[in-house]
Amino acid sequence: MTPGDTANPRAERIERWVTVVTVVLPLAATVWAVVLGWRRWVEPRDLAAAGAMYVATVLGITVGFHRLFTHKAFKCGPVLRAALGIAGSMASQGPLLFWVACHRRHHRHSDTELDPHSPRPHGAGARGVLLGWWHAHVGWMFAHRPENYFRLVNDLVRDPVALAVHRGYFLWVAAGLVLPGAVCAAVAGDGAAFWSGFLWGGLVRMFVVHHVTWSVNSICHVAGSRPFATDDGSRNNAFIAVLSLGEGWHNNHHAFPSSARHGFVWWQVDPSYLLLRLLQAAGLVRDIRTPPPAARVAAAGRASAPIAALPE
């Protein structure tokens, strides 16, 4: 069992049941959607709803939960903070304080026994490697113990916007399921279209977002390049970077955790950072933190640069 900070049997039982529903329900819905799709044509509006919700919720995780709330890589006003937090909550990966606490613990103890989701081998041989990957991808959530928020995210506990987003988690998850259904029903002019939008834009989208995000924990600590000699197994993986809108440049991120920019050179696609630059141009974001120029040289593979702290 991954070490936690508290021993609360009731909280642990609740967390286990929420985990089971979070993992199993989108999986079952996706299987059902594939069966339905095999039998009849999937409406373009359903796929459009799924695509739009995918982008919105992935950005909510990457820009909101990760770069803003966890690492404070940029600053913005309370309305945008709330919007990013709500979009991240719609991804259904746990309440804001839970997500941030787990990720900060991951950075503090990356790829050690105190890391909540390290893919280090669980036993010998290929079986141990596979078990380690499974633990990092999804298994850790079934072994996780409730976090001590006051130790790991005391700054957010005292933040009224973050606390409100955290407390409204189940409302935001429900909204992320109902919204695509409502839009599809409105576009089709048919109440029955609500359920196909709910299925594709809600549950199927949730399933895909889950496994893309979880792949950063698992695949990006196993497969990819390492331009920076960090103290863990973090790796850059271009395929995961494209799917996760920039999060797959994971070795870059572990070298400079507080950087809002994860793709350091032109070919390292990072749509999350591009969004931040657009928001900055619109006056909605300020104080974006980026790595020193030497980091971009190292990431391009032309030289080896030391890991330096970002300017405050």
For the chain, the structural domain boundaries read 9-299
Q: Is the pLDDT of residue 1 over 50?
A: no
Q: What is the pLDDT of residues 183-238, one digit of tens each?
A: 999 999 998 899 999 999 999 999 999 999 999 999 999 999 999 988 899 999 99
Determine whether 12 is exposed, middle or buried from the number of CB atoms within 10 Å of its CB (0-12, 13-18, 19+): middle
Q: What is the pLDDT of residues 156-175, one digit of tens each?
A: 999 999 999 999 999 999 99
Q: Which pLDDT score is estimated for 4? A: 47
Average pLDDT over residues 11-15: 80
Q: Give the count of beta carbons closer than 10 Å to the beta carbon of residue 283.
A: 8
Kindly report the CA angle at 179 between 178 and 185, in degrees rounded to 5?
Answer: 90
* Whether pTM exceeds 0.85: yes
Nearest of 24, 22, 23, 42 to residue 33 by alpha carbon? 42
Q: Is the pLDDT of residue 300 over 70?
A: no
DSSP state of 7: -
Is the distance from CB of 50 to CB of 201 less than 8 angstroms? yes
Pairwise CA distance, residues 69 & 66, whole Å: 6
Q: Is the pLDDT of residue 6 over 60?
A: no
Question: Residue with structure tokens 């709910």?
Answer: 198
The more confidently predicted of residues 165 and 39 is 165
